[in-house]
Structure 1
């Protein structure tokens, strides 16, 4: 196959797979209530994913060497406080990312 045809076939396959994954829940649960297990997963999956992201982000932090993980823990505290205060996930994500980048780039905790 030439390059253009291969690229078009790839795009069509990806588009069909995406469309199928978007339509499948409506076909399976369109006229009835979803099972209790699915409702439990729907309710608990976002916090579990966020917890995994926090653990993944902290896995390489050196807590026994300066700055002792202070920028990360400070940012996590600010993001948690901001999220409990405003209850806005996008605000928490963007503010946390911006704050962490500023703290790291400007070396705010260099005195430790």
Structure 2
């Protein structure tokens, strides 16, 4: 890929990202319909639940760690969320704790 093609690719990807982010605001200038507000309320939790199921799909409870690092990470994530009410800090804390357990404790 030539430098010109690389620049063009980055510019097109950037423009598409800006358009995708701005489109909902342009489409719902006068306020979102009730079903869109409902989806905005329920989808974050549903996506988070789906992410947990996806991450746990290959956990082998019969292996050496018996799923302990995963369970501890989930418990810490839930605890930090209940304490701080901030999803980002909860996910970061749970992920960091899980990585420490997997790489240092259960290595």
Structure 2 length-normalised TM: 0.85
SS at match of 2:32: coil
Q: CA RMSD in A?
A: 1.9
Match of 2:55 among 47, 57, 65: 57
Runs of 4+ in 1 over 6 A off after TM superposition: none
SS in structure 1 at match of 2:48? helix
Structure 2 counterpart of 1:28: 27
Q: Render the CA deviation track for 1:33-77: whole Å, top value 9, x for unaligned.
A: 211221111111111111111111111110133322121112211
Change in 2 beyond 3 A, CA 1:8/1:102: closer
Structure 1, gaps ≥5 residues long: none
Residue in 2 that maps onto 1:8: 7
CA distance in 2 between counterparts of 1:23 and 1:79 reads: 31
Q: Bigger CA drift: 45-54 or 62-71?
A: 62-71
Distance in 1 between the 2:74 and 2:88 partners?
Answer: 15
Question: Runs of 5+ in structure 2 lacking a partner?
Answer: none
Query: Are residue 48 (structure 1) and residue 51 (structure 2) matched?
Result: no
